[in-house]
A and B are shown apart, each in its own frame.
Chain A
Amino acid sequence: VSCPHLEIIFIKLNAAGYKKTSETTGYPPAPGAYNCIAWAANDSRQWWWPDSDSYWPAWSERKLNIGSFVKAFHRLGYRICGHSRVEFAFEKVALYTLNDEPKHMARQLRDGTWTSKCGGLEDINHFTLDAVESYGPHPEFAEYGAPELYMKRFIPVAWVVKLVQCIAWKIQEYRDR
């Protein structure tokens, strides 16, 4: 299924190849709104951003810089690595920046392709990392910048983290009732 509206703002997307994998979710406070950072962290319940109106892990500062993002993902088991190639028993995320400012994150799938949540729009599975590379100008084109930093985590660690996340969400769901 193609997304012509995405192909307009991401000029490389069509050439790189992609598949749509979800419907749009909108922004908070729309129920179930989540963004690319949340999606990279396997969370499809909250909108992650280091400011006072969004969820951000307690162990990382709410500052819009690369360090805050690295710290947020460090506690999820990720460590900085040097490249985006597939590595056995590891899963990876990539941080896109523009002028040193974090803009977007993508998560690597087992087959080496990448999955991204495009703001409040759809999730897509893009076949190359540079498919969503973009430099504006807004609003004609997106401004995700380019992949700047890669982090990886050992898959057994990922299982443990996902289990803990799942329990935390259940507790939150119970409290929200």
Chain B
Amino acid sequence: MLDVIVLSAVLSKPPIRGNTREETMVVCFDSSINEVVDKSDFSIASIRGSASMRNTIEKDLFTGPSAALYGDADIATAFRTLADEWSARTQHISSNKDLITDPNYRQIVKLGWSVVPLLLKDMRDNKRFWFPALYEITNVRPFDPSDAGNGKRMLEAWMKWGRLKGLI
């Protein structure tokens, strides 16, 4: 039953045309919504599409809180709590891999597109390390590869992208 509720909440959003990973997922997903919800016996196996797509959906839906479980205000609160905890306990880490595999970081990524404006604003205001999270969610890197490591240029590129997308 829970999976049907979660799935319904995700699919209640209007489909968005786009070419990034999550947007594509929603568009593909939408084609099978009526059938799934009408039957009321949803299972991951009933999703049309490739096995990898099903795996991604399954992973995103059932292994942690997704944006579907939060309202906008809740997302902001959840994000702030997770981000502050993450900052506090990873400050000594130099390994980017360790930074982004911290459970709180994973939870933030699982919040999906809804958290992107918050990530951008937090990166602008608090200068926290959200580059990998933004890439994981959006599947884009708006800066030139030669600017990798140049925090100023990377930040500028992400802010420009955020403004163009109307996210900040």
Contacts and interface: CB of A to CB of B under 8 A. Distances in A.
Contact of A103 (B98, B149, B154): B98
Contacts of A117: 94
Interface string B90-130: 11111111110010000000000000000000010001110
Given A27-B129, A47-B151, A176-B150, A35 B145 contact: no
Interface in A51-66: 51-56, 64
B149 A55 contact: yes
A176 B152 CA distance: 9
A103 B151 contact: no
Contacts of A54: 96, 148-149
Interface in A29-71: 29-31, 33, 35-37, 46-49, 51-56, 64
A120 interface: yes
Contact of B151 (A6, A29, A36, A142): A29
B149 A47 contact: yes
Nearest to A57: B149
A119 B151 contact: no
A142 B95 contact: no
Given A27-B129, A28-B129, A138-B102, A53 B94 contact: no
A107 interface: no
Contacts of A24: 91
Contact of B149 (A27, A28, A104): A28
Contact of B95 (A6, A27, A49, A52): A49
